[in-house]
Structures are given as structure tokens and as C-alpha cells.
């Protein structure tokens, strides 16, 4: 089985490469990554001499290079994790997000179509759905309309629609997965959980946007990887699958949990000016993928304790 993983030097893509190599003997994994600021290959050191693993430094928006890579390799599956993903950075410079997330996805789709891959799995985000009310009890489903509120989520929604269009127009075998907030090993410390752990470890204040009431659903990256793998193997062509952990926490609750686990005090919290267009609440209904046979394994308090350790 020949698999192309884009963004494999990043957090989720990197963890998924480990998942593949740990669970499949008869596999060849190519890691395509541009090695931007959040890319780090040190997580793959134990596989550097593994004949099943190859790294290629490449920009997914470089059409000629990507087409040549596909022509040289008979990829059967494309798992597209590569993306600019930090909301704050998208507010500062939306153009980089459009180039990578929209144009880069279209280049990959073209290459995958021309080379007749068996499945193109596009890893997206629950942020494309917009926001839910803080005091509500509703959830994002696969039928929830797309209403992105940040340049980042708008670029991801755009790429989702391109993937759908390649299925509807060309009959290309695709799936889209939309996950809730991931946590786990190797996450770049601009994101809330590793940032909090790092700040507390260094005796620094932990910044919390606004009053910390914004709610997120947290999913361990290992659970996410098992879900993506199931979709790659058994997902119905053209379908969207939401992947959520049913671990809803306010940002303030989350930070307090980490503070308690690390033996620190709440004096470490520093409330800062809220993010522009900050979505109130995300929550995913994962019933559809559960019917496919997936279930999350990590209970949040167990997962966060293991991560801190």
C-alpha cells in the first residue's frame, strides 16, 4: 500500500505517519512537507532508516513538482493534512492561508485525479461550520451549513468545496473529515494546550482570551488518527465524516485543569484582549463515523495527564 501524507512534519500529519508505520507492515509512506515554521522532522527520527518511510520537502502549491512526484510514485492513497492552521496568523496574513489551503489542495486534487488514486482523504476542521451558542445543546453534524468566521476557516471551507467538486464532477473517490480541537504529542506551542504547559513549566503567565468562556471539544490525536484510517479504508466515496471527542471544556476550565495537574496556582492566569471574531462554541456529533465502527478511546483527564508527563 503506497500512501502520500501531506503535512507529515506537522502535528496531526506527523502522528498519523507514526500510526501508519506502527499498524501496517506492508506499506510505503511518503511524507510531503514544506517545513515551514511549525514543521519538525525530529519526531520521525526512529523511522529515518525505515525502508517504508520517505521524506520529500515540497510546496503543495508547486504544480510542476507535485505532478512530477505523483508520476514517479504510484500513490494509492492521499491523506491531505497539510495546511496553514493558526487562526491568529490567518487574521494577520490571510493570503498565505489561501495559497496553501485552497491552491495547494487544488494542485493535489489535479495530481490525484490524473494518477487515479484509490482514495483522497481531505482532513478539515469543525471551524468551517462557524459557531454554536454557548448555552446551547446542539452539535455540528455533517449537514450543518458551512459558515466560516475567520480567514483560516474560510480557506478550509473553500478547500472542502473543491474536494467535493472533484467527486461530483469527475467521480473522484474522496472523503472529507472534520475534526474538533486536537491535543497530544508533538503539537506546536502556539496552540492553547502546549502553550499552557510550556508557560507553566517556565514559571510564566498563561494568556487566556477574553473571560475564557469560549468552549471547544477536545480530541486526542491518536483517536483522530484511528478515525482517519477507518475513513481511508471504509469511508463511502463522497461522504463527510465528523470526528469529535465529546470532551467540551471552556478555555478557562481547560487551563485550570492543566494548572491543577502541574501543581501550579490560578495566579498563573492572565486574561488578555479577546481574539477578533472569536467563535463561541464548537461541538461535534460523531454518530456517523461511530456507525462506521469508530469510537474514541482517550478519556480527557487521562489524555491530558499523559501529555503533561
What is the distance between the alpha carbons of residues 289 and 294, in angstroms, rounded to a whole number?
A: 6
Instruction: Classify strands 181-183 and 240-243 as parallel, antiparallel or unpaired.
Output: unpaired
- Rounded-to-integer distance, Cα 36 and Cα 13, Å: 14
Catalytic option among 127, 160, 248, 285: 127
Calpha distance 165→163 (Å, rounded): 5
Residues 64, 72: Cα–Cα separation, whole Å: 12
Catalytic residue check, 127: yes
Cell of 30: 511518503
Write the DSSP string, 132-183: B-TT----B-TTSPP---SHHHHHHHHHHHHHHHHHHHH---EEEEEE-EEE
Q: Which of 152, 183, 241, 282 is catalytic?
A: 152
By CB atoms closer than 10 A (0-12, 13-18, 19+), residue 127 is: buried
Catalytic residue among 126, 160, 217, 223: 126
Q: DSSP letters of 79-130?
A: EE------HHHHHH-HHHHIIIIIIHHHHHHHHHHHTT-SEEEEEEEGGGG-
For the annotated catalytic residues, the residue numbers are 126-127, 152
Amino acid at each position: 500500500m503506497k500512501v502520500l501524507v501531506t503535512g507529515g512534519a506537522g502535528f496531526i500529519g506527523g502522528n498519523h505517519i507514526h500510526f501508519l508505520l506502527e499498524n501496517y507492515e506492508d506499506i510505503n509512506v511518503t511524507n510531503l512537507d514544506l517545513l515551514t515554521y511549525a514543521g519538525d522532522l525530529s519526531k520521525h527520527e526512529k523511522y529515518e532508516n525505515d525502508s517504508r518511510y520517505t521524506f520529500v520537502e515540497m510546496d503543495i502549491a508547486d504544480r510542476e513538482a507535485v505532478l512530477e512526484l505523483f508520476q514517479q510514485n504510484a500513490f494509492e492513497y492521499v491523506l491531505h493534512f497539510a495546511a496553514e492552521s493558526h487562526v491568529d496568523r490567518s487574521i494577520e496574513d490571510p493570503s498565505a492561508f489561501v495559497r496553501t489551503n485552497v491552491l495547494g489542495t487544488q494542485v493535489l486534487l489535479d495530481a490525484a485525479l490524473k494518477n487515479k488514486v484509490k482514495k483522497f482523504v481531505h482532513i478539515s476542521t469543525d471551524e468551517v461550520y462557524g459557531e454554536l451558542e454557548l448555552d446551547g445543546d446542539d452539535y455540528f453534524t455533517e449537514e450543518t451549513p458551512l459558515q466560516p468566521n475567520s480567514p483560516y476557516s474560510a480557506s478550509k471551507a473553500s478547500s472542502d468545496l473543491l474536494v467535493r467538486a472533484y467527486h461530483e464532477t469527475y467521480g473522484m473517490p474522496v472523503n472529507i473529515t472534520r475534526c474538533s480541537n486536537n491535543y497530544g504529542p508533538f503539537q506546536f506551542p502556539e496552540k492553547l494546550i502546549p502553550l499552557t504547559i510550556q508557560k507553566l513549566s517556565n514559571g510564566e503567565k498563561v494568556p487566556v482570551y477574553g473571560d475564557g468562556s469560549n468552549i471547544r471539544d477536545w480530541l486526542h490525536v491518536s483517536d483522530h488518527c484511528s478515525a482517519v484510517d477507518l475513513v481511508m479504508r471504509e469511508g463511502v466515496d463522497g461522504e463527510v465524516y465528523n470526528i469529535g471527542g465529546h470532551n467540551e471544556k471552556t478555555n478557562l476550565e481547560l487551563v485550570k485543569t492543566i494548572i491543577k495537574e502541574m501543581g501550579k496556582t490560578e495566579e498563573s492566569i492572565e486574561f488578555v484582549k479577546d481574539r477578533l471574531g472569536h467563535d463561541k462554541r464548537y461541538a461535534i456529533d460523531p454518530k456517523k463515523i461511530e456507525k462506521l465502527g469508530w469510537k474514541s478511546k482517550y478519556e480527557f483527564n487521562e489524555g491530558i495527564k499523559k501529555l503533561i508527563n
